[in-house]
Structure 1
Amino acid sequence: MRQRVVRVALTAALVALVLLAVPLALVIRSALYADQRDTLERAALAAAVRVSPDYTGGDPVELPAPTAGRRLGLYDPGLRLRAGTGPRTGDAVARRALGGTVVRGTAGGDLVVAVPVSHAEQVIGVVRASSAERTVRDRVLAVWAALLGVAVLALAVAVLVARRQARALTAPLEDLSRHCRAVMDGDLTARAAPSTIAEIDQVARTHNDMLHSLSELLRHERNFTANASHQLRTPLTGLQLTLEAGLEQDESRLRPVLDEALAATRRLHDTVEEVLRLSGSRGLPHTAAPDRAVADLLSETEERWHGLFARDGRRLECVTDEVPGDERVPGGPVAEILGVLLDNARGHGRGTVRVRVRDLGDALAFDVGDEGALEADPARLFDRGHTRDGTGAGIGLALARDLAFSLGGRLFLASGDPTTFTLLVPVPRRLE
């Protein structure tokens, strides 16, 4: 592209120079020839003024001395040279001047100007001034050579400017091309840098926006896969254990096992729905999840997790502080968040785990705490890949934070020792 820009600029400069230089060269040539003829005419007029009418009677005539390279002569009506220098017999230019007018012309390679000398309304002679045409032609060629040198210099400057502008125009495009190749090689962090050209900057911004959207799409897809695998691991393990236990029972005691397996299947379905809903929301607040009463939600949470903590020799306590049992919250997302926090407390905490619900007026606060202490950096606790004790995949808390945000709520670390997480869920203001 650089060579193309240079060629275009050079072609434009050549066309401009031709359109300007050729007429200028012709004008210069015409002006130099006209100037020389004007000079010859002035010299002939000055000599004609000094010619006395008595020269026809034999009186001598003293013409001004011509400058170098010029000839000045006086011719009588018979076209015989009477004084000065020039051909012995007057030429056609001198003959035409006998008609009483100044005549300009060429003869024998000379520029010639003939001025009539009049007395008593009669032409009594002709003053002829001439100079070699070669002298004017040499001046014309010298000026043309200078003009050609200026044109060559202008072309050289045009090439330098064109090359510089070509670099300025193509450098952002080459940079954009390098970033595109980097993206093609798998580097989704590559971004095109801004330049000083608005149109190329617009293309770069569009490219960066497209790449950002693509990166966000891939991030959501990766998050969905990680969230789904993380959230389904525990329920699938529980379902597998339930079914394996059912295989060891006789047919008369299969009904409770099947009921428990069915409940686990429903929980799996709810988990998949929540992960899909979060993936589809792209992190934007979304509260379309069905509402459930707080009392029912806590009862189900305690029923689901009590046995798991008891199996580890630990206690689970669920209490409310003057929160109406019929207060409703988005059931699916809140249940998933509580599940993440309880699983986090079970895997990384110790001692008794308490779930406490507090009424804050416009929101409900769900506190989930245990008797352990936080070992991770609180500032990075909710980042993917970081956990409270440095073990695990570090997905659950990040997922819980995104679920809370999708409800328009907030999840944060309320205390590091003992470790306590608080979930704020907005609820409609109740009329007293």
Structure 2
Amino acid sequence: MALLLLAVPLAVAIRFTFLADERGELERDAMAAVVRVGPDFAAGDPVELPGSRGGVQYAVYDSNGSLRSGEGPSPADATVRQALSGRVAQASSGGELVVAVPISSGERVVGVVRASTSASTVWGRVLWGWAALLGLCLVALFAAVWVARRRARLLSTPLEALARTSLAIADGDLTARAAGSSIKEIDEVARAHNSMVERLARLLERERRFTANASHQLRTPLTGLQLGLESAMADPDADLRTALAEAAQQAHHLDHTIDEVLRLVITDDTAAAPAAAEPVADLLRAAEQRWHGVLARNGRRLDLLWEPETGRLCVPGRTTDQVLDVLLDNAHRHGVGTVTVNLRDLGTALAIDVRDEGSTALDAQAIFQRGTGAGTGIGLALAREMAEAAGARLALSGRAPTRFTLLLPLEEGASSGSPRPSAGG
């Protein structure tokens, strides 16, 4: 559109300019012929016309419009008659450009010099000018197309890459990220896209972890509840009230398990309510009740050691309960021999050691990574996450025999204050 708006006026201007230039040349040639002929030709003097220039033809007419010399129409045409009135006349007729200039003597017109040339010569130059203009327009058009395609590629390439990234994410590759470009607006879209994908990936990871954590933590209590009920149903002499009390206790523990797993999920984005504090001795007795029979069925002992004053100290109840379950389940599945739970007061923190008589070849970091070990690889990683969410720490403090230590910080003034020997730091 820009080329058309520019080229059409230029084409008109080229035509007008070339025609005007040719008429100006003809007028100058006719003026030169007037000077050469002079007014004396009216008295019968011979007429001397200049030589022809590039196809220009000359003719001399008297005051009556009769052709006296040269090549021209006879009788005089309208251009010559117009010049006899005393002014220069220009016209285009019969495929010719014509200029007629009057010859004056005093105040009287005594004749006319007519100069003409073929219009095809002028139109040839006009066509050459138009051809040059067309060539320039084509060059400009190709340059514009090249620039436009280059700019289009600069715009489309990052958008196509963003589309490919979106398709990869739709196919399940949540690690795909949109790359940056040199265009600010597209970079903003890419950053927003990457931020959205990262948030979705975190949400999906949290959902997967919640599913895995819940299935891991609920499996053992549900199995215990099922075994207790089936045992009571199979024994006709069983005390049903006792069986129901144990089932209620297991259900209560299941409720605590669900709450703790949910609390671990929401701590990623919001501040979850801290677990209620409970005396650590009560938690140890409940753990003993849950795991004594499980270990005894495999011919293994469970020993719990603590001092009365230390047992009265309070710790986050549900978190400690769940971490103890994971550590005892780990000792049950992967350990050997007697399982010992030892409670120690370190002054500003409580240490709970869970030890068995087996050993582990994994180092202190790898053992807490998900997917590590012979089992599902979830329990120890989950236990560390729950401990850290409550402000506690869980570490592998011994490899042969295997010993895990849970450090639970105490509020200032909560320690029993009594000096006690401790086996660790």
TM-score, L = length of structure 1: 0.82
Is 2:382 aligned against 1:393? no
Report the equivalent of 1:4: none
Give the structure 1 partner of residue 390 of structure 2: 407
For residues 231-281 of structure 1, what are the alpha-carbon distances to aligned partners after superposition, in whole Å with 9 as ceiling and x for unaligned?
122222222333344346565844444333322221122112212222344
Runs of 4+ deviating beyond 6 Å: none
Query: What is the match of residue 353 of structure 1?
Result: 340
1:242 to 228, 251, 268: 228
3-state SS of paired residue (1:50): helix
Give the CA deviation at 1:159. Answer: 4.2
Q: 1:69 to 1:224 in 2, by over 3 A?
A: same
Aligned partner of 1:291: which letter? Answer: A
- Aligned pair 1:230/2:230, yes or no? no
**In 2, Cα distance between equivalents of 1:287 and 1:404:** 14
| Matched residue, 2:9 | 23
Cα 1:357–1:114, aligned 2, differ >3 Å: closer, same or farther?
Answer: farther
Where do 1:185-264 residues align within 5 Å?
185-247=171-233, 253-264=239-250
Give distance in 2, aligned partners of 1:50 and 1:326. 138
Once the two structures are superposed, the pairs formed by residues 95-134 of structure 1 within 5 Å of their partners are: 95-134=81-120
Q: Residues 75, 367 of structure 1: CA spacing in aligned structure 2 closer, same or farther, 3 A cutoff?
A: farther
Tell me if the contact between 1:356 and 1:368 (Cα under 8 Å) persists in the aligned partners: no
Matched residue, 1:7: none
Question: 198-207 or 131-140, which moves further after superposition?
Answer: 198-207
Aligned mates of 1:252, 1:109 — CA distance in 2? 130
The amino acid that maps onto 2:46 is P
What letter corresponds to residue 398 of structure 1 in structure 2? A
The answer to whether the 8 A contact 2:343-2:350 is kept is no
SS in structure 1 at match of 2:110: strand
- In structure 2, distance between residues paired with 1:169 and 1:125: 74
* Distance across 2 between alignment mates of 1:287 and 1:408: 13
In 2: Cα distance, 1:64 partner to 1:93 partner: 20
Matching residue of 2:129? 143
Q: Structure 1 residues 394, 51: CA separation in 2 closer, same or farther (over 3 Å shift)?
A: same
TM-superposed deviation, 1:342: 2.2
Q: Secondary structure at the match of 1:297?
A: helix
What residue number does 2:22 align with?
Answer: 36
1:62 and 2:55 aligned: no
Task: Trace 1:160-179 onto structure 2 (pairs within 5 A).
Answer: 160-179=146-165
User: 2:370 is aligned with what amino acid?
Assistant: R
Q: Distance in 2 between matches of 1:198 and 1:141?
A: 48
Alpha-carbon distance in 2 for matches of 1:86, 1:167: 65
Q: What residue is the counterpart of 1:383 in the other structure?
A: 369
Per the alignment, do residues 28 and 299 of structure 1 end up closer, same or farther by CA in structure 2, a change over 3 Å counting?
same
Task: Indicate conservation of the 8 Å contact 1:69/1:132, yes or no.
Answer: yes
- Conserved 8 A contact 2:88-2:99: yes
- In structure 2, the CA distance between the partners of 1:368 and 1:81, relative to structure 1 (3 Å rule), is farther
How big is each residue's C-alpha offset from its partner over 1:95-144, in whole Å with a ceiling of 9 and x where there is no partner? 21222222221232211122223332333332222111111112222222
- Counting only pairs closer than 5 Å after superposition, residues 260-409 of structure 1 correspond to structure 2 as 260-282=246-268, 286-309=272-295, 312-319=299-306, 325-351=311-337, 352-359=339-346, 361=348, 364-387=350-373, 391-409=374-392
Q: The residue matched to 2:368 in structure 1 has which SS?
A: coil
Q: Does 1:419 align with 2:406?
A: no
Give the whole-Å Cα distance in 2 for the aligned partners of 1:20 and 1:417.
91
Q: State the Cα distance separating 1:166 from its structure 2 match.
A: 4.1
Say if 1:287 and 1:330, in contact at 8 Å, map to a contact too.
no
**RMSD (Å) for aligned C-alpha atoms:** 3.2
Amino acid at match of 1:216: R
Quote the offset at 1:67 in angstroms.
0.9
Q: Is the 8 A contact 1:323 1:358 kept in 2?
A: no
Q: Which runs of 5+ in 1 are unaligned?
A: 1-14
User: Is the 8 Å Cα contact of residues 286 and 408 (structure 1) preserved in structure 2?
Assistant: no
**Bigger shift: 115-124 or 322-331?**
322-331
Distance 1:211 1:116, change over 3 A: same
Query: How far has the Cα of 1:60 moved from its partner?
Result: 3.5
Instruction: State the Cα distance separating 1:378 from its structure 2 match.
Output: 4.1
Q: Flag the 1:231–1:53 CA change in 2: closer, same or farther, 3 A.
A: same
The two structures have a TM-score, normalised by structure 2, of 0.83
Query: Which letter does structure 1 place at the counterpart of 2:33?
Result: A
Larger deviation, residues 40-49 vs 167-176:
167-176
- Secondary structure of 1:131's aligned partner: strand
Cα 1:297/1:67, change in 2 over 3 Å: same
Q: Percent identity?
A: 51
Cα separation, 2, equivalents of 1:419 and 1:47: 126
Deviation by residue 1:205-228 (Cα, 9 ceiling, x = unmatched): 444433333333332222222212
Instruction: Report the equivalent of 1:8.
Output: none
Matching residue's letter, 1:108:
G
Please tell me whether residue 72 in structure 1 is matched to residue 58 in structure 2: yes
Deviation at 1:284, TM superposition (A): 5.8
* Equivalence for 1:9: none
Query: Partner amino acid for 1:372?
Result: G
Say how many residue pairs are matched: 413
Distance change >3 Å, CA 306–CA 376, structure 1 → 2: same
Is the 1:172–1:200 contact (alpha carbons within 8 Å) kept by the matching residues of 2? yes
